[in-house]
Structure 1
Amino acid sequence: MPRHNKPLPEFKTEAEERAFWESHDSSEYVDWGQAQSVRMPNLKPSTKTISLRLPESLLERIKIEANKRDMPYQSLIKAWLAEDVDRKS
């Protein structure tokens, strides 16, 4: 038996659409049984800028290690942090 969904309203702004979806159940408007998986392999994870104070000597040692590995020092710091967190999980 085909399912009849409510028609989607026209939204003037993204904020208006966001407010609508915050107060309505999407299953009344979208047949999720017809949804298909989508892969987006080129998306990069969202990042957040932080400020981190390090002793200058430590930062210089990290930069030397990064140079040996031919990678940016900030990438090396992220890799080390991720490895440490994964190891402790």
Structure 2
Amino acid sequence: MSRKRSKIPLTDPKQVPEVMTEEEARAFWDSHEVTEAYLAKAAVREPEGPPKRTPTASQSINLRLEVNTLKRLKALAARKQMGYQTLLKTFLTERLYEEEKREGVL
């Protein structure tokens, strides 16, 4: 009778080498097994990517614009497939940056 060798239990996805040849991967998985703890950690692992934007404090204001200016702003925002208020905030932020840079504040 041949006795089965026990496999090394893996409890964390970080225990698995990131780079392996096909032969190394076969040998690794022949000698290791995944545990419930491993699966639980792998399930909640967030994909890598750019950091999430942190929310900043904001304040509502009232702004009076000429009717024609508002129509043009809304039309441009629609062409860019974004909200007109978002577009307006982008314009203000970009222009403020340019002015501060020109004045040497930045």
- TM class by shorter chain equals 0.5 to 0.7
- 4+ long deviations beyond 4 Å: none
Contiguous gaps of at least 5 residues in structure 2: 1-50, 101-106
Q: How many residues align?
A: 50
2:56 equivalent among 39, 45, 61:
45
Task: Please give the alpha-carbon distance, in whole angstroms, between the structure 2 residues aligned to 1:48 and 1:41.
Answer: 21
Instruction: Considering Cα pairs closer than 8 Å and 6+ residues apart, tell me whether 1 or 2 has the greater RCO.
Output: 2
Seen in structure 2, the aligned counterparts of structure 1 residues 42 and 85 have a Cα distance that, compared at 3 Å, is closer
TM-score by length of 1: 0.52
Instruction: Look up the equivalent residue of 2:57 and give its one-letter code.
Output: S
> Is 1:70–2:81 an aligned residue pair?
yes
Q: TM-score, normalised by structure 2?
A: 0.44
> Partner amino acid for 2:63?
L
Q: Kindly, what percent of the aligned residue pairs are identical?
A: 30
* Residue in structure 2 matched with residue 85 of structure 1 by the alignment: 96
CA RMSD of aligned residues (A): 1.5
Q: Which structure: larger Rg?
A: 2
Residue segments in structure 1 that go unaligned for 5+ positions in a row? 1-39
